[in-house]
């Protein structure tokens, strides 16, 4: 019986290429997951700041309602700046600014003329810390 020689060269080469590809893909997956986590933390931080400002705005409206229910006027609301025809309240935190403008709308009532949440845009060539640790 004649035995056919097995040539392991092509098989070994194929397995080497496959293992190198799998290793590169594993490294890319790990680093991308870390970058995704960093971006998620950055988004969560900005969302927390925005929600804190929105809560402050709602508390200002509640305070305004209490002043008007007690028989006061918009000008009597504490910590509000008098504007032409109404009042304005500006809340700021970490570069974000919530501006609220109220105008009188009859006895013991008001209209919200502006409720604007802004952040000054800053151009950034890179996102610092995105790929750190990988």
User: What is the spatial order of strands in the sheet that 86-93 belongs to?
Assistant: 81-83, 86-93, 96-104, 110-119
Q: What is the mean pLDDT of residues 35-58?
A: 94
In a domain, 128, yes or no: no
In a domain, 1, yes or no: no
Quick: pLDDT tens for 97-114: 999 999 998 878 899 999
Rounded to the nearest integer, the mean pLDDT of the chain is 88
Which of 12-21, 31-40, 109-118 is the least confident region? 31-40
Who's near 43: CB < 8 A, 6+ residues apart?
none
In a domain, 133, yes or no: no
In this predicted structure, what is the pLDDT of residue 9? 86
Tokens of 37: 């986590």
Which of 10-14, 22-26, 34-38, 125-129 is the least confident region? 125-129
Per the structure, the count of domains in the chain is 1
Domain assignment of residue 91, given as a range? 9-119
In a domain, 29, yes or no: yes
In a domain, 27, yes or no: yes
Query: Quick check: 8 pLDDT over 90?
Result: no
DSSP string, the chain: -PPPPP--HHHHHHHHHHHHHHHHHHHHHHHHHHHHHHHHHHHHHHHHHHHHHHHHHHHHHHHHHHHHHTT--GGGSTT-EEETTEEEEEEEETTEEEEEEEEE-STT-EEEEEEEEEE-----SS-TTSSTT-
Quick: pLDDT tens for 17-28: 999 999 999 999
In a domain, 130, yes or no: no
Cβ neighbours, 10 Å, residue 49: 16
In a domain, 38, yes or no: yes
The residue to which tokens 């970490």 are assigned: 94
In a domain, 35, yes or no: yes
89 pLDDT band, cuts 50/70/90, is very high
């Amino acid at each position: 019986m004649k035995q056919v020689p097995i040539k392991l060269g092509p098989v070994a080469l194929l397995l080497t290429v496959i293992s190198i590809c799998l290793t590169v893909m594993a490294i890319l997956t790990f680093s991308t997951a870390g970058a995704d986590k960093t971006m998620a933390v950055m988004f969560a931080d900005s969302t927390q700041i925005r929600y804190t400002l929105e809560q402050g705005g709602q508390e200002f409206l509640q305070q305004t309602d209490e002043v008007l229910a007690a028989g006061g006027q918009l000008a009597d609301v504490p910590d509000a700046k008098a504007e032409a025809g109404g009042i304005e309240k500006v809340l700021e935190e970490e570069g974000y600014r919530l501006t609220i403008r109220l105008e009188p709308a009859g006895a013991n009532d008001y209209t919200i003329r502006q409720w604007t949440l802004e952040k000054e845009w800053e151009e950034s060539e890179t996102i610092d810390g995105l790929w750190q640790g990988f």
